[in-house]
Amino acid sequence: MRLLGFALLALAGCARPEPQASRREPGSCEARARVTSERPLTLDVEMRCRGRELTGFRAAEAQTAPHVSTSLRRDGARFTLPSPTRDALVRYRVNLDAVAREAESFDVALRSGATLVAPVSTWLLHPEPLEVDVPVRLRVETPPGFRFETGLGTRAGAYALEAHEIPVGTYAVFGGFESQRVVLGDSSVQVAFADGALDTPKQELATWIGDSARAVGDFFRRFPVPRVHVTVIPVPGREGVLFGKVLPESAPGVVLLVGEHTKREKLYQDWILVHELFHLGVPSFSGEGKWFDEGLATYYEPIIRARAGWRSEQSVWDEFHRAMPLGLDVLRTRGLERGESFRDVYWGGAVVVMLADVEVRKRSGGERGLEDGLRGVLAAGGHASEVWPLGRTLALADESSGVEALQPLAKAHAHRAKPVDLDAVWRELGVEARPDGVRLNGGAPLAAVRSAILRGGLSTSSKLGSAPKSRPMPAM
């Protein structure tokens, strides 16, 4: 089941956006979107950009363009202004239900009963050219009783983002849905439940989402971002958490597909939500570092859930022993930056991340781990909504952990082939294969390191909000 999940993630993309290069110039955009029809869901949008010469506007999603009505001339996904201007205005109408019928995907538009989920990138045209960071202020107006929520951040009474972020704009939800707010100290999780049947009460789902956020917050010593929006979409007739994805621009949003018949115990056996929430504490990368980003989430997700009491130490090492060999081929033949499959990116990255963690633990006597380096990156502002160079991230993580581990490993494995003797690592850690799973050898040379990896530091859940944790589920 886990391998299938990673295959789905690889296909649909858990990767971070790759924004355009930019230079600072004066300019700003004001946008207003009004819901003028609930069924079909129709938006009337007006967008005006001043201060930077523009030639037109473009739909980020090709499936949106045919369903946009405007006086501007359309050429594919592009809407051309009569002439270049520094005071550009576009008025248009977009039928989101028509887009949803064609796309049937929450990455573009998806209807779930009285709810429609569509990222900002689907319905907000972006100005061209995009090489400038132009601030955009967006207001959304809805009829009485009709709701709207999004992961976008706000500033001075309006949603705020940069123009170059529109093509990767985060999730938004329209229409008939319920929502709850989970407080995590200075941070919060806004949970929207799209219309649809769920056997488990929504309050229990919200509690699980909050518990997962607290577990991630315990790891980073604080929840990585001030606010995240999570949309739960019920899937009729199915069981379990089926898929999840995060879009971090300009403030993060997460979508989860949850089967109608999912029971509470299945929620706490899920890995997807913790994996997606973990991404919030690591910078985004442009054209590089996907192996590091996904390798970190793949390696630390089961460790975080073990620390929360939702699975056993034995089960974590059993999973690592079975799955990490999937990442050895890319290390042996191509190097991580040339990885293509989920095996290459997720598990190849996880192998190198584990090697770095072991190195830090060895050289610090188990007192520090790679996680201390990641906390230093986060403290310096390196969260998912910020795009950093990979080299800067690795260097700061090494500096913060006090051990130069990531940079030498990246030099050895990112751009060239160099095999890893994983069997030797297991012997040192005391992870011994048996027909019914691994045996953990307490007498192995690095048995204390293995234990320290799972134990981590002291829990700080009390700092992440006063809501009580649910009773830990039985370990897998």
Distance (Å) of CA 39 to CA 114, 121, 235: 9, 21, 21
Q: What is the pLDDT of residue 5?
A: 38
**Quick one: the chain helix, strand, coil %, rounded to 5?**
40, 25, 35
b/e code 268-298 from CB counts within 10 Å (16+ = b):
bbbbbbbbbbbbbbbbbbeebbbbbbbbbbb
Q: What is the pLDDT of residue 12?
A: 38
Q: What is the pLDDT of residue 251?
A: 83
pLDDT digits (tens, 9 = 90+) for 146-183: 999 999 999 999 999 999 999 999 999 999 999 999 99
Q: In whole angstroms, give the CA distance from residue 312 to residue 309.
A: 7
Q: In whole angstroms, give the CA distance from residue 149 to residue 341.
A: 34
DSSP 60-90: SSTTTGGGEEESSEEETTEEEEEEEEEEEEE
Cβ(153)–Cβ(250) under 8 Å? yes
Q: What is the pLDDT of residue 459?
A: 33
Q: What is the pLDDT of residue 133?
A: 78
Kindly list the strands in the beta sheet with 227-235, ordered across the sheet, starting from the edge strand earlier in the chain.
178-184, 187-193, 227-235, 253-259, 241-247
Q: In whole angstroms, give the CA distance from residue 191 to residue 206.
A: 7
Residues 6+ apart with CB under 8 A from 83: none
Q: What is the pLDDT of residue 132?
A: 59
Angle, CA of 450, 452 and 458, to the nearest 5°: 155
Q: In whole angstroms, give the CA distance from residue 92 to residue 100.
A: 18
- The encoded tokens of residue 234 equal 């019920």
Q: What is the pLDDT along the chain (476 residues), one digit of tens a residue?
A: 333 333 333 333 444 444 443 444 568 999 999 999 999 999 999 999 999 899 999 999 999 999 999 999 999 999 999 999 999 999 999 999 999 999 999 999 999 999 999 999 999 999 999 765 799 999 999 999 999 999 999 999 999 999 999 999 999 999 999 999 999 999 999 999 999 999 999 999 999 999 999 999 999 999 999 999 999 999 999 999 999 999 997 789 999 999 999 999 999 999 999 999 999 999 999 999 999 999 999 999 999 999 999 999 999 999 999 999 999 999 999 999 999 999 999 999 999 999 999 999 999 988 899 999 999 999 999 999 999 999 999 999 999 999 999 999 999 999 999 999 999 999 999 999 999 999 999 999 999 999 999 998 433 333 334 333 433 433 33
Cβ(148)–Cβ(141) under 8 Å? no
Q: In whole angstroms, give the CA distance from residue 239 to residue 258.
A: 7
Q: In whole angstroms, give the CA distance from residue 457 to residue 466.
A: 20
Q: What is the pLDDT of residue 461?
A: 35
Say if residue 205 is exposed, middle or buried (CB neighbours under 10 Å; 0-12, 13-18, 19+): buried
Angle, CA of 462, 466 and 472, to the nearest 5°: 75
**Cα dihedral 148/201/5/112 (nearest 10):** -40
Cβ(437)–Cβ(314) under 8 Å? yes
Say if residue 213 is exposed, middle or buried (CB neighbours under 10 Å; 0-12, 13-18, 19+): buried
Q: Would you give the distance in Å from CA 223 to the centre of its chain?
A: 14
Residue 371 identity: E
